[in-house]
Amino acid sequence: MRYDVIVIGAGHNGLTTATALAQTGRKVLVLEKRAIAGGLAASEEFHPNFRTQGLLQETVGVRASVVESLGLKRRGLKFRDAEPGVFIPESNGPGVLIHRDADRFDRENPNLPEEERKAYREFRAFLGRVLPFVRRVLEQTPPPITDKGTEGLWTLLRTGMALRALGRDDLHELLRVGPMCAADWLNERFKSDALKVGLAAPALHGSMLGPWSAGSVASFLLREAVVDKSVAGGPAALSRALLAAASESGVELRMNAPVRAIRVSTGTVTGVSLENGENIDAGGVASSCDPKRTFLSLLDAADVPDSVAEQIRIIKMRGTTAALRLALEKPLEFPGRPDYQAEEILTGKNIDGLEKAYDAVKYGEMSEIPHLAIKVPTLSERDIAPEGKHVAEILIHFAPYKLKGGWNDAARDELGRRALSVLETYAPGTEASILGKEVLTPTDLEDRYGITEGHVFHGEHSLDQLHTLRPSVDTSGYFTPIKGLFLCGAGSHPGGGITCAPGALAAEVIKRA
């Protein structure tokens, strides 16, 4: 049987691309190597009767336009009415509870000085004025640098006009802060260490960046630009809705079907070969795998132009993320706010503490005091743990893929010990509440999810790997030099995280191809 398009990978981007194409009448096959769909947004049991909502935690970047076009609300997807806020605990104080809404921030943080709360209000007002421009850039297909036609020029012209429309002061400030380090920018505006940690940390997740790294403000702006309401039920609920939409649209899905190779004849894709030896023909292939896996593993070297192979080879994919899953007798308890049940937590004493945690990975070492991004989904979703019990999903930053001495059982145990030590600092008694746990190192993430070097974003969000340079000059815009081969994963614009945006934008390009 011949398919119009084969999509490699049943993660949220692959399912988005497949469904969007199937809705136009194309015959689409999705091939997934694992027994479960969803990729980094798949629910998994890590202890008897305890499940995660997915490896990645955030769904605030899921595009409303994708939800609408794929009819995901009809398939049960709902957005939360109110966001819980992000709690940054202090070992000897009430901590800070961050909300994007300045009024809620005021109400939740009466302990902060008035001038600090006023500064936050002004900070949010500035973001409210400039982020629509950043969002505009992220939601359009980047024009190829080599494009000699008028469409790319018009895109750039419209983008330039939107930038000028910001007004003189905001334009100058955006241009000033974009290349800056987050530490300098936040130190200009705020005094609270906990507040600065809470604002800086998400910009560093999944990248080889510390708060003193140049360009970390740009990473912050790119993330903030897409933040909206989160999905009720988390990543797993999104995956369920996407699977339902794909099925109803006629997408054929095959699990336990790892692709061994993408077949090419005289520069044109002809289909794929599975690891079991089966060949499947198709008019096109869309890969949601990371660029290195696509070009350097699934394609024969003879089919990839040397210049493209070199561009892909030098993509920075230095994984710095590990995971800790906890099955708990009770939710996390923070003495600084005894009456508050925190669903989302970020740890860190101050900006320099984040920088020190990052410093370790530069030398192939795991952080002595790692930064933790913690989610307790059972405070809002009760179906992933037994009655009265809880789950804590923790992403550990910074843990290097290339650890000195390599990752083994002893190193994995030590990573878990260090993470729990940090957690005990802010939520004493947590270790005594643990019923079961799972620790995943960057190499574990690579093996389980098929992401090169365990990089959860399929490539770093550095300034040289964004927009028309993502993943490389000759493979941006979802096209590749191989006719009929497209990219639809997080390694393409606008990047990683659970957004569905790369998959949706790639589908539009494939429709026009």
List, for residues 397-410, the tens digit of each pLDDT value: 999 999 999 999 99
Residue reference for tokens 């550990």: 396
Q: Does position 161 have pLDDT exceeding 60, yes or no?
A: no
The amino acid present at 346, given as its one-letter code, is: L
Confidence of residue 153 (pLDDT cuts 50, 70, 90): very low
Per residue, the 3-state secondary structure of 90-129, as one string, reads ECCEEEEEECCCHHHHHHHCCCCCHHHHHHHHHHHHHHHH
pLDDT at 133: 87
CB distance 506 to 487 below 8 Å: yes
- Omega within 30 of 0 (cis) for the link into 84: no
321: Cα separation from own chain's centroid: 11
Q: Does position 165 have pLDDT exceeding 70, yes or no?
A: no
pLDDT at 120: 98
Confidence of residue 179 (pLDDT cuts 50, 70, 90): very high
Confidence of residue 158 (pLDDT cuts 50, 70, 90): low
Best CA proximity match to 462, nearest among 170, 183, 181:
181
pLDDT tens, position by position, 409-423: 999 999 999 999 999
Best CA proximity match to 4, nearest among 20, 26, 24:
26
Confidence of residue 81 (pLDDT cuts 50, 70, 90): confident
Average pLDDT over residues 146-166: 54
Is 321-449 assigned to CATH 1.10.8? no
CB distance 461 to 126 below 8 Å: no
Minimum mean pLDDT among 129-143, 300-314, 333-347, 494-508: which range?
129-143
pLDDT at 163: 59
Q: Does position 157 have pLDDT exceeding 70, yes or no?
A: no
DSSP secondary-structure letter at 25? T
pTM above 0.85, yes or no: yes
Give the pair of three-digit tokens for residue 249.
């649209």
Average pLDDT over residues 123-144: 88
Give the pair of three-digit tokens for residue 104.
């809620």
Mean pLDDT for all residues in the chain: 94
pLDDT tens, position by position, 237-287: 999 999 999 999 999 999 999 999 999 999 999 999 999 999 999 999 999
**What architecture is the 2-47+58-77+232-315+458-512 domain classified under in CATH?**
3-Layer(bba) Sandwich (3.50)
pLDDT at 156: 47
The amino acid present at 205, given as its one-letter code, is: H
Q: Does position 194 have pLDDT exceeding 70, yes or no?
A: yes
Residues, the chain: 513
Confidence of residue 169 (pLDDT cuts 50, 70, 90): confident
Q: Does position 167 have pLDDT exceeding 80, yes or no?
A: no
Confidence of residue 112 (pLDDT cuts 50, 70, 90): very high
pLDDT at 146: 58
Best CA proximity match to 236, nearest among 59, 417, 74:
59
**279-287 and 485-487 strand pairing:** parallel
Domain locations in the chain?
Answer: 2-47+58-77+232-315+458-512, 99-226, 321-449
Q: Which residues contact 451 (CB under 8 A, 6 or more apart)?
A: 40, 290, 293, 319, 445, 458
DSSP H helical ranges for 178-299: 182-189, 193-204, 216-226, 234-248, 291-292
pLDDT at 166: 63
pLDDT tens, position by position, 23-74: 999 999 999 999 999 999 999 999 999 999 999 999 999 999 999 999 999 9
pLDDT at 142: 81
Confidence of residue 463 (pLDDT cuts 50, 70, 90): confident
pLDDT tens, position by position, 5-28: 999 999 999 999 999 999 999 999
